[in-house]
Chain A
Amino acid sequence: MASSDDEADGLPQWVSNYYFEDDKDEPISFAVLPIQWKEGESQYGNKELIFLHGTTDNGLQKIYKHVIAWRFDLSDVNPQIYVLSKENNWIKLQKPRKSFEDIIRTILITVHCLHFLKKNPEASGKSLWDHLSKVFSLYEVRPSQIDLADHLPLLREAVTRDDTLAKSKFLCTFLNESPGKTKLCDENVQMTAMSGFIVDDVDDELLDEEDDESNEVEDVFDSVCAFCDNGGNILCCDGRCMRSFHATEEDADTCESLGLLQEEVDGLPTFVCKNCEYKQHQCFACGKLGSSDKFSGAEVFPCVNATCGYFYHPCCVAKLLHEENKAAAEELEKTIAAGGSFTCPIHKCCVCKQGENKKDLQLQLAVCRRCPNSYHRKCLPREIAFEDIDDEDIIQRAWEGLLPNRILIYCLKHEIDGELGTPVRDHIKFPGIVTAVEKKKETMEETKKKASDFVGNKVRDFSKKKNLAIENLSPRRNALKTAKQNLKLSSSKNSKKIVSVSDISRKGNVNASSRKLLRGNARSVSIEVDRSSTADENKPSLGNRLYDFMKGSGQVKPIKQDTHDAKVSKSEAVKLSTKKLSSAAPSLDADRERSLLALMRDAASSITLEEIKEKHKVPCGYAYSSKYNVDKNITLGKLEGSMEAIRAALGKLEEGFSLEDAEAVCEPAVLKQIFNWKQKLRLYLAPFLYGNRYTSYGRHFTKMEKLQEIVDKLHLYVQNGDMIVDFCCGANDFSVLMKKKLEETGKKCSFRNYDIFQAKIDFNFEKRDWMTVQPKELPTGSRLIMGLNPPFGVRASLANKFIDKALEFNPKLLILIVPPETERLDKKKPPYDLVWDDEQSLSGKSFYLPGSVDDNEKQMDQWNVRTPPLSLWSRHDWSAKHKIIAEKHGHLSKQQEELDIEKNHPENRIHDHPVDSHDHCGVNSAMIDDLPAQTDGPEKIRGGTVVSKCDKESSPRSKGDGESLQNEGYVKNLPKGYSKRKRKHDNEELGKQNGEISSDNKMDGGRPRHASPNIVDSRSSLENSQTKSREIPSHTEIGENGHQHFEPSTSGSRLQFAAAYGGNQAGISDDMGRMYYKSGNVSYSSGTHWQSMDVSPGSDYRGRNWEEQLAGRLRGSSDSLSHRSYGTRVEEMPTRDSDIRSQVRLYGQQDPDLPRHNYLAGHDHRYSQIESMPSTYGHPSMAADFSSYRMNASAVDLSYRMNTSAMQRYAPRLDELNQFARPMNTFGFEPSIMNVNGFYNYPESQPPRYQNSPMGFVPNPRHPYPH
């Protein structure tokens, strides 16, 4: 089939990520092209111009071709589709562009169908659809016959041309009959079912990044109408029954529906069916109604299965569950009646008594919709067939695709009604309106005439929805409609009258309206009557009756003059009403009120939701979100059911039942669903849940002084003639500041500012959605500097959008304030290089809420929950230049540091910000972060300041810019984060340490990403690679095997590490001890490291990476012991790492015992003054815990955990004590060690620690600290 292999090399052979467009740039299916059945056969009569877009050559080359024909090849393993380009070159189509998939879906299905049938001509319809569902599993909509129906001519042609296909039974039957009713509805059902759960925000509470498929949320609840068991536009009951109904008659042809009006449905915030409203549910076994109200003596009880929603009498279900064993049944009956949970028989196959497995096709259940009876697919009796078999008198009883992963059947107990295709639909009883249902049935059978009488009789009841019989409804609707039509045509006066006619039917206030009609104008009356009667042929009696009534009451005199119409001439009015004038009171009569109400209704109905949506187009990015789904799809009933089921399932598991039993109660999909729902609800409720901290969705502007800082830095990179584009300018301060600065420095630049709201300053402002700006509107990329503070969106989705858009312009520089989780620009195509980033400068109150004032009329500031880093990205070809500038001006590190010191010093003491930080930084790093603070005066201050500042901040903190400052930043955050988590830990059971740790790991997981660039920047290349390797595991990490994850980068070195210490450990024999010891060293050494470096590899200390880090350091083998020399400044010392490594080692050897045991002793005696000691140890040991967990996960002991948490708990305090630490320092330890310990000079830290971890340490007081 390689038809054109020998064509010119330049011609592409295949294309992926493709899509087709016609000459109007509308996407179009290639199926409109003429098909070429045989080589050389030409019938290119098509006049439409169709172009193929896509990429070839592994995405390296873009394609844009005019195509003129297509063909498919079924002989391969997979069907191949080719299109013929104008140059007579066949191009194989590979993967379509995602957005284009829907357009070509049907034709792809058709081709796959042909392919499958060619291979398996004998295949039944069922196996075909199964196959196709598998092939198209990624699509939201299951393939169905309706897809084939679109390409009937193609199928016919294929059958005539291909003998194998002609033999296919399925195709023949399919081509000879049009798709049946239920099948046609398939699609609708699925559409509604799926569309509700299309997650348009990336809310992955479930961490399914690796397996995308399971990320697609399936609907676990069925969504077919409880009346007719068909899909379509359905309304979900909010109650426990979890049923859905067709709400209006239009929704389904044969369904009797709830008989509501569309307007009524739209007006309902939530729909609760009568059963749930009155808490009267039917027993699914016997069909009788019973109270399900648990608080007042329930008679029927719901099945505990999360998705079931059926109720049973205890006796009924007990009988069913224990058919043979009467005693057991009685027992069960009692437990159920007492409130015990049960799983109804529908969840077990009635043949083999086994449970269902939705994932295994054969073990999927076919459930009867009329009684608690179900079969496995494999156990399904032959009589329950998917299609009619005329010879054997078998009628279709089973349908696929209506219920999620189940088969809908009517079991053999129910007789199928020939006309309906289902059993008689009398299975639903609503409490309270039983009579209405009966009436419904009656009227169904009755003649039209009788029905119309009924209308007349029941006028008064019309307003009661529950009594509405379907037959009555339609006329009423018609009347309303005609009334509305007339409204437009006739004069206002007339129209009002007509409306009032419809009022009559609504309110049944015949008297009042008749009076009105009689208002002295026989003509208009007759016209009206005429209209109402002609308008509604179904309802002659009503019109006649009215007319009669009017005649009868003809004597009634006009009581009231209608003066509502301003156009009524005054004189006339005066004449008519002279005598009545005196009686005109300011109060309104019912008549008038009604017409006013009608006016209001009228006005209200002239506004539709669609129009509003149309009119108020939100800027892209703010599009209508999943909010609607929250309301309509997450029903209380389902939620309640799921909650119960989850509890019951867990209960079962804990009682020792098998996993299968639990899954029969609550399948994993339900649980997944719950997690998803939570995420959704949280998103939806975010403004209310988070209040002030709810930053990302509202607008927040960067404060002027922060902007000034940015400008001060950025202007150096700007060249004469550049254009600065602020794509989301807010108040538009940035450009103004920028302009001022640039003018000062003698640069001339142009500016462009966009926002969707009018900016305060209209300097070069254009009110426009950034997404609509076209590349040609701005100068070339090498003159563009773009960026600043875009809206963030959920998980930075909006920020990503804005950045992607900006990248279309290829700007040479991008300056961004975006949340840390934003997709990094060095991951984009083409990648941008990071010049610098600064995770500090925008922490704390860097933003304000425009226009919002607090109680004191002051501008409201906004706390960052997490600091969005400020970063500068350079296009690759410019980055060298920009980096030079950055270096020259010290942007990479120092400058910032100083700035921050100045800035934040005042805030020094404010540790307890109201806003909690949610940091998950490693404890270790926290601990160690403190160390450097003590080395000398200024640094200490820095430590303090940053602490206070960083409080607000989150992960970005892991930056390793070679600044002690930044590293210290973590100090505050970490402990907090941890102490929080600690609480969590306490709640859980002991046996879960692994889990805990894993969670910690996970939490940390995100960080390295942000951290690495800096590290990369600021460190030597050697480290560079180190960091990278570290980064990889962190992404893929899943808690439990953290140990293994680290392996790649660390194992070798760890060995080394162990070896290094092995010798010293003689004294400590037991495992735990050793671990402790080891870890003690670890932390110790790292402490040293810190102190000495004062420094950069902040990221190194993230808890997760601990041993790696350490290992990395140990790896180095240089023995120089000069850590002291690295006292403070680090950036300039590329070699420091190796030195430190050696140090680490040294330490290890020097103080072998140090690790755990001496604290008490130290505290009490020898170090009584220097309480810092103990605490010092505390930290390392705690840090050690972490590392030891990971290193020897198996040997972890509870005590470790205790220690850890205790430390965590007190960590913040320790930090606060920072300031006091300094004096302690003077206690003259040996310089090196001294410093190390000095940091931890927090007197108070020690006692708590001991209190909390008695088991860990107290018992082991050893000889004092070796130094």
Chain B
Amino acid sequence: MGSSAAQADYAAFLEKFIPNYMGPRNIAECALVEMEDVRQAKAVLSEISQFPFMMSGMPRPVRARPAQVEMFDERPIKPGRRIQCRWLEENDPDFEIAREMKRLTNKHAAEAAFLQKKQLQEEEKLAKQQLDTLKGNYKKYEMVDSIMADGTARRLARHYNLRVAED
């Protein structure tokens, strides 16, 4: 526990956040964190992946992976690659292809949004479940505690000649 926090502490720089283009919602974002050297970076990666859970099985809200060029939108373009734009007429042979691609992109976006929604639901469900468990257990604890606190249990224990600890 606490390792991610420890890691954050060790991090040399928090370089910048990478916007999540999945949507405007309040969802996870990536951040570029630069360590002092490769060894440290590797250590962070392995620690975080090794301990994915926190107390009570809560998923650790941080994951780590090595940075790649593709993650950054301001990366320089590949040498020799140029993007060209042109208007396609309806009778253009490429028209349908382009249209299909457009549709596909839309579809993918919709699918991603759907998955995203589901994912958030799942997360919420898990959080709720964990909260419920915690609450349930806390309720139990309070219940036991109440019987201890008002002395009932202790008095009965005395009647029974049970020895119990004062806590």
Residues of A within 8 A of B (CB): 204-208, 269-270, 563-564, 570, 573-574, 577-578, 581, 584-588, 592-593, 596-597, 600, 616, 627, 630-631, 634, 636, 639-640, 643, 646-647, 649-650, 653, 659, 662-663, 666, 668, 671-672, 674-675, 677-678, 681-682, 684-685, 687-689, 697-699, 757-758, 760, 762, 767, 849-852, 987-988, 995, 999, 1002-1003, 1038
Contacts and interface: CB of A to CB of B under 8 A. Distances in A.
Interface string B108-145: 01110011001000000000010011101111110111
B31 interface: no
A1194 to B, nearest CB: 19
B152 A677 contact: no
B111 A630 contact: no
10 A-B pairs closest in CB distance: A851-B5, A758-B43, A851-B9, A851-B6, A681-B141, A678-B144, A999-B166, A586-B110, A668-B160, A584-B103
B10 interface: yes
B162 interface: yes
A208 B165 CA distance: 10
Given A671-B160, A678-B145, A851-B8, 10 more contacts: A592-B111, A600-B115, A631-B133, A649-B156, A668-B160, A668-B162, A675-B164, A699-B2, A851-B10, A852-B5
A674 B139 CA distance: 14
Given A206-B164, A758-B43, A995-B158, A675 B153 contact: yes
Contacts of A270: 136
B65 interface: no
Contacts of A672: 162
B20 to A, nearest CB: 19
A570 B97 contact: yes
A698 B6 CA distance: 12
A205 B166 CA distance: 8
Contacts of A640: 143
A1038 B136 contact: no
B104 A646 contact: no
Contact of B153 (A208, A671, A988): A671
Given A269-B133, A636-B136, A646-B147, A849 B155 contact: no
Chain A residues touching B, majority SS:
helix
B13 interface: no
B2 A643 contact: no
24 contacts: A205-B164, A207-B163, A207-B164, A269-B132, A574-B100, A586-B110, A596-B111, A596-B114, A630-B137, A636-B139, A639-B140, A643-B147, A646-B153, A677-B140, A685-B141, A688-B134, A699-B2, A757-B3, A849-B5, A851-B5, A851-B8, A851-B9, A851-B10, A995-B158
A593 to B, nearest CB: 6
B157 interface: yes
Contacts of B1: 697-699
A574 B96 contact: yes
B159 A650 contact: yes
B77 interface: no
A574 B97 contact: yes
Contacts of A584: 103, 106-107
Interface stretch (B22-30, B47-55, B82-90): B47-55
A851 B7 contact: yes
Contacts of B145: 678
A584 B103 CA distance: 7
A588 B118 CA distance: 14
B62 to A, nearest CB: 11
B58 to A, nearest CB: 11
Nearest to A600: B118
A1220 to B, nearest CB: 35
A659 B110 CA distance: 71
B140 A636 contact: yes
B63 interface: no
Contacts of A634: 137, 140
B19 interface: no
Nearest to A209: B163
Given A205-B167, A688-B134, A586 B147 contact: no
Contacts of A596: 111, 114-115, 118
A850 B143 CA distance: 35
A586 B114 CA distance: 11
Contacts of B152: 646-647, 650
B2 A687 contact: no
A681 B137 contact: yes
Of A584, A587, A698, A767, the most chain B CB neighbours within 10 A belong to A584
A627 to B, nearest CB: 8
B39 interface: yes
A687 B146 CA distance: 20
Contact of A666 (B50, B132, B156): B156
B148 interface: yes
B39 to A, nearest CB: 7
Contacts of A646: 147, 152-153, 156
A672 B160 CA distance: 10
A210 to B, nearest CB: 9
Contacts of B136: 269-270, 636
Contacts of B104: 563
Given A269-B129, A588-B111, A647 B147 contact: yes
B55 A643 contact: no
B140 A681 contact: yes
Of B4, B53, B160, the most chain A CB neighbours within 10 A belong to B160
A616 B48 CA distance: 11
B141 A678 contact: yes
A110 B28 CA distance: 62
A640 B144 CA distance: 9
Nearest to A654: B155
Contacts of B166: 999, 1002-1003
A987 B107 CA distance: 69
Contact of B39 (A600, A649, A762): A762
A597 B118 contact: yes
A34 to B, nearest CB: 48
A207 B164 CA distance: 6
A634 B140 CA distance: 8
A1003 B44 CA distance: 45
A1170 to B, nearest CB: 39
A1002 B154 CA distance: 15
A850 B5 contact: yes
A616 B52 contact: yes
B165 A204 contact: yes
Contacts of B46: 758
A219 B49 CA distance: 39
Contacts of A1003: 166
B162 A570 contact: no
Contacts of B51: 616
B114 A593 contact: yes
A588 B110 contact: yes
A758 B143 contact: no
A1164 B8 CA distance: 64
A570 B94 CA distance: 12
B96 A674 contact: no
A851 B4 contact: yes
A903 B51 CA distance: 39
A986 to B, nearest CB: 12
Given A207-B165, A678-B144, A685 B138 contact: yes
A597 B121 CA distance: 12
A970 to B, nearest CB: 20
A689 B138 CA distance: 9
Contacts of B156: 646, 649-650, 653, 662, 666, 671
Contacts of B9: 760, 850-851
Nearest to B142: A681
B103 A581 contact: yes
B31 to A, nearest CB: 16
A758 B157 CA distance: 49
B163 to A, nearest CB: 5
Nearest to B133: A269
A574 B39 CA distance: 50
Contact of A206 (B129, B143, B162): B162
